[in-house]
């Protein structure tokens, strides 16, 4: 989506369940602010916030003003806020109660008449997942999910989409009782990040990349999603989830899907989904024996972050058991059984209290077959590496060999570095803008379909089973501020490889 060429969204009301919650204040309304600033919201648009707070429209607008101002930072402008603010409405509701849903019907009819929103509704469920089924059922009961020829009804739900395969299937079944799959938009804000979409553009609109993108030329792939933060106020949730459940079936596997997919016939949601699902189908689930050697878990103890801040152990966080066995770090080695990727390992790692808040994909190419430079050993030469940086500074870096100037033949590694911000500026974004806008347009390309969610759980199920059957005995096994347990290094070392060193605290280059 580019605001220079994109048309405003169609007329609609965005109904936010959980309008007084954290996600709404920090992400959703700021994302609408950015869309409004870019001219991408029509005049025929309204937000109807629902929550149990006792507020009227004016008080709700006041509540959000301070939050939005804080979260959009330097992008704040009063004119944009005035425009958006006039489109914000509020209704007190109990989401478990049919009367509230009936009142919602009446409210929406009034908004359609006043605002020209034409009966198009985007329901955003910014609530705990335990409420998804009940809310969609009640929306169905009061007739708000039925689409007519000239209007649409769509529902965005937030992760987690279940906590294992069975619960994900239950959730999908529950949603499908009221909604068609085409009406359900499962959001993963990682897919709203420019670089994730740009993986597709990079791979499929540059003729020179695709011939290299396979097992002939690629030695292995590393995906790192590192968080420097701890569990903060989410201790109780995290105790039940852990790093594997929280990150791998959704963010990391979808990234892997975009990296490894075959070219889809078009950039159309069904075509893209089918190709991602084929990748997930080709991933070999680990056998219980393989889990012991191909999967690593860790939990952080107290330690010192690169900022020199001393931080407490996971087990000392609020809401966390003092003898917790929940992992805050997970790494996997996965392989794919298909023509393009057979024999190419994909190493995934994610964790909390790592030294940087940083996401990247590193693609290591195979070495040259021989060296013709006298005195140079192939072993001395670094392999060529392409790094797709996803956050914080989105960009692409290619590391390759070059001659060090001088009379003798010496070879060093140099980097070509492309930064999005250098070329396209730094458009402020929360990661939700594209996704909300796409949903308003009915484009589900960047959303997860039911089968993608279930396949993600299938892949990690054996790991979850073994880890549950054999609780970790050596937790905590890494200090906060380090790159995880030693076993994560061994995962690659045993294959004669190593994780790409990542600068700390945050390897930013753009805008420096
Ligand atoms: N926050 C994030 O950055 C983030 C990121 C990714 C995904 N998510 C997901 O987004 C969803 C929302 O997260 P959140 O952090 O915004 O949660 P939250 O702060 O707890 O917001 C939920 C809001 O809904 C209200 N609510 C709950 N049950 C209600 C009911 N029966 N009737 C009326 N109001 C009710 C809550 O009111 P009370 O506070 O009074 O209960 C609260 O204001 C969750 O599924 C979460 O996993 C959040």
Q: Looking at ligand 1, which atom is closest to the CA of residue 125?
A: 11
pLDDT classification of 211: cutoffs 50, 70, 90:
very high
Q: Looking at ligand 1, which atom is closest to the CA of residue 17?
A: 24
CA of residue 225 relative to chain centroid, distance: 10
**Candidate list 251, 294, 441, 449, residue with the active-site label:** 251
Longest dimension (CA), the chain: 84
Question: Minimal CA–CA distance to 105: which of 231, 220, 13?
Answer: 13
Q: Calculate how far, in angstroms, residue 82's C-alpha sits from the geometric centre of ligand 1.
A: 26
What percentage of the chain reaches a pLDDT higher than 70? 96
User: How far apart (Å, rounded) are the C-alpha atoms in residues 320 and 313?
Assistant: 10
CA of residue 443 relative to chain centroid, distance: 18
Q: How many helices (H) and strands (E) does the chain have?
A: 16, 18
Alpha carbon nearest to ligand 1 atom 17, residue: 21
Q: Calculate how far, in angstroms, residue 131's C-alpha sits from the geometric centre of ligand 1.
A: 10
Q: Calculate how far, in angstroms, residue 126's C-alpha sits from the geometric centre of ligand 1.
A: 5
Cis before 289? omega within 30: no
Report whether 209 contacts 215 (CB < 8 A).
no
As assigned by CATH, the class of the 12-158 domain is alpha beta
DSSP label of 293 = H
Q: What is the mean pLDDT of residues 445-474?
A: 95
Domain chopping of the chain, boundaries:
12-158, 192-493
Known catalytic membership, residue 251:
yes
The structure tokens listed for 264 are 């889809």
Ligand 1 neighbours, Cβ below 6 Å, are: 18, 20-23, 26-27, 51-52, 93-96, 126-129, 131, 158-159
User: How far apart (Å, rounded) are the C-alpha atoms in residues 262 and 271?
Assistant: 10
> pLDDT by residue (tens digit) across 151-199?
999 999 998 899 999 999 999 999 999 999 999 999 988 777 777 788 9
Cα-Cα end-to-end distance for the chain:
26
> pLDDT by residue (tens digit) across 303-342?
999 999 999 999 999 999 999 999 999 999 999 999 999 9
Report how far apart, in Å, the C-alpha atoms of 53 and of each of 57, 60, 91, 95 are: 12, 9, 9, 12
User: How far apart (Å, rounded) are the C-alpha atoms in residues 157 and 47?
Assistant: 17
**pLDDT on residue 508:** 55
The bridge status of strand 45-51 relative to strand 478-479 is unpaired
Q: What is the mean pLDDT of residues 29-33?
A: 97
Burial class of 379 by CB neighbour count within 10 A (0 to 12, 13 to 18, 19+): exposed
Residue 408 has pLDDT above 90, yes or no: no
CATH 3.20.20.70 fits 192-493, yes or no: no
Q: Calculate how far, in angstroms, residue 236's C-alpha sits from the geometric centre of ligand 1.
A: 14
């Amino acid at each position: 989506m580019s605001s220079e060429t994109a048309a405003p969204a169609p007329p609609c009301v965005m109904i936010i369940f959980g309008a007084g919650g954290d996600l709404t204040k920090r992400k959703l309304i700021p994302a609408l602010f950015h869309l409004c600033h870019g001219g991408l919201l029509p005049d025929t648009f309204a937000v109807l916030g629902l929550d149990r707070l006792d507020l009227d429209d004016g008080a709700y607008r006041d509540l959000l003003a301070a939050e939005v101002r804080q979260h959009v930072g330097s992008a704040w402008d009063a004119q944009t806020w005035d425009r958006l603010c006039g489109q914000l409405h509020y209704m007190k509701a109990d989401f478990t109660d049919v009367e509230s849903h009936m009142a919602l019907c009446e409210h929406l009819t009034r908004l359609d008449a006043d605002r020209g929103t034409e009966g198009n509704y985007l329901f955003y469920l910014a609530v705990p997942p335990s409420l998804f089924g009940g809310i969609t059922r009640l929306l169905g009961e009061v007739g708000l999910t039925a689409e007519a020829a000239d209007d649409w009804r769509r529902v965005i739900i937030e992760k987690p989409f279940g906590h294992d395969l069975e619960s994900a299937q239950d959730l999908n079944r529950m949603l499908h009782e009221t909604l068609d799959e085409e009406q359900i938009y499962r959001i993963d804000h990682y897919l709203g990040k420019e670089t994730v979409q740009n993986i597709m553009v990079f791979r499929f609109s540059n003729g020179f990349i695709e011939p290299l993108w396979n097992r002939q030329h690629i030695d292995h792939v590393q995906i790192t999603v590192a968080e420097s933060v701890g569990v903060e106020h989410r201790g109780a949730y995290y105790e039940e989830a852990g790093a594997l459940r929280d990150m791998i079936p959704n963010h990391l596997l979808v990234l892997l899907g975009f990296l490894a997919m075959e070219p889809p016939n078009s950039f159309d949601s069904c075509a893209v989904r089918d190709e991602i699902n084929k990748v997930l189908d080709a991933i070999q689930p680990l056998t219980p024996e393989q889990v012991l050697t191909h999967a690593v878990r860790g939990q952080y103890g107290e330690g010192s972050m690169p900022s020199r801040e001393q931080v407490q152990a996971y087990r000392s966080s609020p809401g966390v058991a003092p003898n917790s066995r929940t992992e805050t770090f997970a790494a996997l080695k996965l392989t794919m059984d298909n023509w393009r990727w057979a024999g190419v390992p994909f190493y995934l790692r994610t964790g909390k209290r790592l030294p940087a808040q940083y996401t990247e994909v590193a693609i290591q190419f195979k070495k040259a077959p021989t060296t013709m430079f006298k005195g140079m050993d192939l072993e001395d030469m670094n392999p060529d590496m392409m790094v797709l940086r996803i956050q914080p500074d989105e960009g692409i870096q290619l590391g390759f060999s070059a001659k060090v100037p001088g009379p003798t033949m010496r070879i060093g590694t140099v980097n070509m570095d492309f930064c999005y911000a250098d070329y396209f500026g730094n458009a402020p974004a929360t990661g939700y803008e594209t996704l909300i806008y796409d949903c308003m347009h009915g484009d589900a390309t960047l959303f997860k379909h039911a089968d993608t969610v279930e396949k993600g759980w299938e892949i990690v199920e054996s790991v979850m089973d073994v880890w549950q059957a054999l609780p970790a005995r050596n937790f905590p096994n890494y200090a906060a501020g380090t790159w995880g347990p030693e076993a994560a290094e061994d995962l690659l070392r045993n294959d004669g490889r190593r994780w790409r060193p990542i600068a700390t605290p945050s390897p930013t280059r753009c805008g420096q």
